[in-house]
Chains A and B, each alone.
Chain A
Amino acid sequence: MDHLLSQVTAWGLVLLQALLYAVLGPLLVGWVRKVKALLQNRRGAPVLQPYRDLRKLLVKETRVAHTASPLFRAAPYIVFVSTWLGAATVPLIAVDLPTAAIADIIVLVGLLALGRFFLALAGMDVGTAFGGMGASREMLVSALAEPAMLMAIFTLAMGAHSTNLSTVIGHQLAGGLALRPSILFALGGLTLVAIAETGRIPVDNPATHLELTMIHEAMLLEYSGRHLALMEWAAQIKLVLYGALIANIFFPWGIGESFSPGSLALGIGAIVAKLLLLGGALAIAESVLAKMRLFRAPAFLNLALLLSLLGLLSHVILEVGT
């Protein structure tokens, strides 16, 4: 009986965590926009504005171009579900949830790649010039970002001897506060990848619909109504996903290590504080930096790959055998 009860609690927590991702997504985006507005001496929209936008889009009529294939209608659901499922595998408030069994980093990369694949297909489906251009750019960025992300993650996996996120976080918690060059480099590499993958400045500008510079927005131009809402929601969840990944892997302190209410409350408080800090840092970085030309993006991602590679090498050279 006790066993059953603990199973039910654990799965309830999994559901709660998945819901938290969906709820935190728009909130984080609203927070970043608010901080950016304050930095630009504007009052800015309320933090809750993204929720209102999503509700507005969800109740609006959904129009589809008449050249669109069924894939165009299916893509928003696939993108949303794969991103959300990927997010649900990343420990947010507690480690060792039942989903820890599938919380593998390579699974996460695969799920994100699946979503991206359908996003690019949908961009090309209607046959407008901007959609195809956005899709090709997205593929350029992601083809370069993926190896860098995998390298950064292998650096961590080598330390923990596992590619399971829960195990990696547990290893980090057990290791205590230690200065490790490999972790520093991996953090740098993964941060650059996160910026590129979530389409933030300096790789893509999330706030513009200017034809020549947009990447992510270009693929969504033909969408309206609830399709658009799902696509935007998926992008917001992806931002939280990367934020949680960076926060919980590199600064895991505070995450719930048992299922007691106290440690869970601490876990929620800790992750919200970390995301607020990361969002603030992102807003400051976006205010300070200018967007790069698209053809500079490969150099940016090469830097990410170099940092991750150096992390891997310095793990082998400096940390093994001491």
Chain B
Amino acid sequence: MIAPLPLLQQLVLVLAAIVLLTSFVLLAQARLISAIHVFAWQGALVAAVTAVVAAAGGAPHLYFSAVLTLGLKALLIPWMLHRLARRLELDRHVETLRLPTLVVMAAVALVIFSYWLVLPMVQEGLAFTRNIVAVSLAVVLIGLLMMVFRQQAVAQVLGFMSMENGLFLAAVSATAGMPLVVELGVAFDVLVAMVLFGVFFFQIRESIESLDVDRLNRLKETAEERE
């Protein structure tokens, strides 16, 4: 029963559930630009969860994390990805997932798996946010699944970044946030990774004239023979 929980804590649960939903949308979204927008929304929702946890749990240092997440994951990185997609002329890129229903059902199975994994921890009883640990683990695993099933390099980066969102959510919900130094370090890491990805995109495209990473598996000679 959820009724006795205060309103703010209910809000945290609802927001966490919507983060999980955005993970699914990200997984199934075929249009690259829309996927980037969904990723931005996911970042904003994670920031909102952090802010509400800060308000409900009385942890003022989390407000700083929330602002950092909002600025980085909801604004700066989506903007960089957006610009990259425009410069790589991928604005109208549509990637059809093979077997979309199967992939989504695999993601549902991952949610159940992560719930099963977290169950002993939930019974220990941490804070009111302990139930969200399963959700954040599921977000991490779905990000991984996205990196496995998407062939497009930019979409794989989105999966990677949403994994980071899940890790951040886990940190917030399990231990009320990491120390400030660690958080700043992670934020910087993510930013540097983003810049490196940008460089790599151009390198990949130059060498195989596409961002379909499946083509990296082929030997160059066979690829030429085929053409």
Residues of A within 8 A of B (CB): 175-176, 178-182, 184-185, 299, 302, 306-307, 309-310, 313-314, 316-319, 321-322
Contact = CB atoms under 8 A, between A and B. Distances in A.
Contact of A181 (B3, B7, B18, B100): B18
A309 B115 contact: no
B112 A310 contact: no
Contact of B13 (A185, A310, A316, A319): A319
B7 A179 contact: yes
B17 A178 contact: no
A316 B119 CA distance: 11
Contact of A180 (B2, B100, B104, B135): B2
A79 B135 CA distance: 44
A316 B115 contact: yes
B48 interface: no
Interface stretch (B53-61, B76-84, B126-134): B126-134
B104 A306 contact: yes
B68 interface: no
A318 B24 contact: no
A313 B104 contact: no
Nearest to B104: A306
27 contacts: A175-B3, A178-B2, A179-B7, A179-B10, A180-B10, A180-B14, A181-B14, A181-B16, A299-B100, A306-B108, A310-B108, A313-B108, A313-B111, A313-B115, A314-B13, A316-B115, A317-B111, A317-B115, A317-B131, A318-B13, A318-B16, A318-B17, A318-B131, A319-B2, A319-B13, A322-B2, A322-B128
Contacts of B10: 178-180
B34 to A, nearest CB: 15
Given A302-B104, A322-B128, A179 B3 contact: no
B27 to A, nearest CB: 10
Nearest to A176: B3
Given A313-B115, A318-B135, A322-B5, A184 B17 contact: yes
Given A179-B11, A322-B128, 20 more contacts: A176-B3, A178-B2, A179-B10, A180-B10, A180-B13, A184-B14, A184-B17, A185-B21, A309-B108, A310-B20, A310-B108, A314-B17, A314-B20, A314-B135, A316-B115, A317-B111, A318-B17, A319-B2, A322-B1, A322-B2
